[in-house]
Structure 1
Amino acid sequence: MTSTTKLNMKLLVDTKANKVLFAEAGKDVVDFLFSLLVLPVGTIIKLMTKESMVGSVGNIHQSLERLECTYLLSNQTKVDLLNPKVLVPSFSANGVFLLSTSASSSSMHTNKRYYRCSNSYYSNCGKNYVTDVSGTTCPLCKQSMTKEVQYVEPNSRGAVKVENNNGENGLGVVKGVVTYTIMDDLTITPMSTISSITLLNTCNVKDLSVLQEKNVKLGMEEGGQAQIANI
């Protein structure tokens, strides 16, 4: 997440009790929360027993454990997310890097441009030689290498990011076709009409007239503060 990026959430507020019952969020917010698990804290939590898991980070971990695989993108698995080996800076939603590092190999490849030979008479030129400096002389035909090619970035398991039939861009963790419920302890579940009614009953809401929706934006500063507070 960049410093200027804001993620949208909708809060359901009990105005009488003056408290937030739960938040309604989309793919971008859930991707951000689940991407926290690729931090070293994810490995620490994995080594802890379920009984010793305390705080909201443990709830994020258990939410992912319980989430059905049908909600995950086809290029993501629970194994990679729950057993992180390295930081994965390619976690992103709508082109936003959620975990950015100064030495990100992902960003280095993304910012660079690559070129091949544009000579149509030598078919092997474009197949065998690539450069990151436009105008470099092709070692085969001696022409300038100016034909730009696209770098395909793999994810942590070696799969490339591609568009699928549902219009998903393969970025992030979860699918964007559903909305998710986020509780104040960061428990995350897919939202439905039935689950919303159940939540209202759980929160002991008797009078619907006291409920109010409030749209808020989550930025890097707020996200960082929430992460520290909930750990």
Structure 2
Amino acid sequence: MATSSPNSSPTTVSLKLMIDPKSNRLLFAEAGKDFVDFLFYTMSLPVGTVISILSKQGTVGSIGNIYGSIQSFGDSIMLSAPKKDTLLKPMLLTNQPTSVAFLLPSMQSSKHNILYKCYSNSCKNVSFELKSRCPCGTYCMDQNLTFVNPTNKAAYSGDDCGFVKGGVHYMIMDDLAVKPMSATSIITLLNKFNIKDVSYLEEKIIAVGVKEGVELLRASMQSKTVLSAVFLGKKESSMKSEPTH
């Protein structure tokens, strides 16, 4: 469930961790629509946007050097400012309703958001490149079309917003595999971990905000024990990854 102050956008979502205290092992996390929507939303982010987010709070491996190289190249090397801008600040083609994207820092998209089509009224092809050759014939694509990303927040409210249905409890594995929660799935998981007595299991409620959202994004690219790494402070090298499929 998302929490917020009055008359403001949500600031955190709640995540319930189920932990085996004997082994200090995370069994699974229970989450609602808002957290699952956030996880699924990360799949829509361009690489340039992900690197921009993560590089502000630490290293991101060698791909960060590619990003830095593009930043350092001036007009004497880059073919055009729009080409550089679209690499460093790619256009986010997925709408960003606040209930999905608020767990990540604000992201600025490229200002060069003009699309081009050819002269033919019947052609449906578009391109970011001015005067590129249209596949439908011999025309150049030089007719301006402006990309519009809807900003009417009223259109993205409640259960119609995001990616998954509300009113469902979701089970999140340590490696971020997601499935609807059911008695069968819980029993199967407990049997896999050889849990005989559920009474001693520990519940830990986590408030997930922007800081945690960024760390989840980073850990998802480095670890198969993401929730443990972010919320329990466990390094993957000290843990045995459990298959979830």
TM-score (norm 1): 0.49
Between 1 and 2, higher relative CO (CA 8 Å, sep ≥ 6) is seen in: 1
TM-score (norm 2): 0.47
